[in-house]
């Protein structure tokens, strides 16, 4: 997964690390949209980011199956899960990118969400989420 911090021009990529049960975050300088090489296969430019391009990295608690994410207020908001409250429950995770810490972890299954969360986004100060077979719903008000 990846998300753009438009306030600091940083591209964050993150991946669950099954062996250590952590999720690793990598921060890169936001690439120029015109950088990279044209790809006839994909019909767009391809740009490879390498280890030497990493500005910072940090690990937080394990995200078992990340879906969509968004950035706002200095934080990454990520949803995960397959909708089964018993096996892979839906979660909302909030990561503070300045401190590199997992600030909040909410089991959405315990709040009644019984579907797979797909993504989250902000609109007019509200955090909204989309789950499989659902319309966009309000998750909670965030100031």
Task: Look at residue 139 and tell me whether its pLDDT is greater than 60.
Answer: no
pLDDT tens profile 20-64: 999 999 999 999 988 999 999 999 899 999 999 999 999 999 988
CA pair distance 2, 48, nearest whole angstrom: 14
DSSP 30: P
Task: Look at residue 69 and tell me whether its pLDDT is greater than 80.
Answer: yes
pLDDT band for position 133 (50/70/90)? low
> In this prediction, what percent of the chain has a pLDDT beyond 70?
89
More confident residue, 129 or 41: 41
Q: Maximum Cα–Cα distance for the chain, whole Å?
A: 47
- The SS3 of residue 139 is strand
DSSP 23: E
Burial (CB < 10 A; 0-12, 13-18, 19+), residue 65, is: middle
pLDDT tens profile 78-116: 999 875 656 778 889 999 999 999 999 988 888 877 778
For the chain, the average pLDDT equals 86
Judge contact between 68 and 93, C-beta under 8 A: no
> Which residue matches tokens 């937080």?
60
Judge contact between 23 and 4, C-beta under 8 A: no
């Amino acid at each position: 997964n990846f998300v753009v911090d438009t306030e600091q021009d940083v591209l964050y990529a993150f991946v669950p690390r099954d062996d250590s049960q952590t999720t690793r975050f990598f921060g890169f300088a936001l690439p120029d949209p015109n950088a990279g090489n044209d790809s006839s296969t994909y019909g767009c430019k391809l740009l490879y980011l390498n280890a030497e391009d990493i500005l910072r990295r940090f690990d937080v608690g394990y995200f078992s199956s990340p879906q969509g994410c968004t950035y706002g207020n200095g934080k990454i908001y990520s949803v995960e899960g397959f909708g089964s409250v018993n096996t892979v429950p839906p979660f909302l995770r909030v990561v503070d990118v300045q401190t590199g810490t997992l600030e909040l972890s909410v089991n959405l299954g315990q709040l009644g969400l019984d579907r797979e969360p797909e993504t989250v986004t902000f609109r007019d100060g509200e955090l909204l989420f989309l789950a499989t077979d659902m319309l966009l719903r309000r998750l909670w008000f965030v100031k």
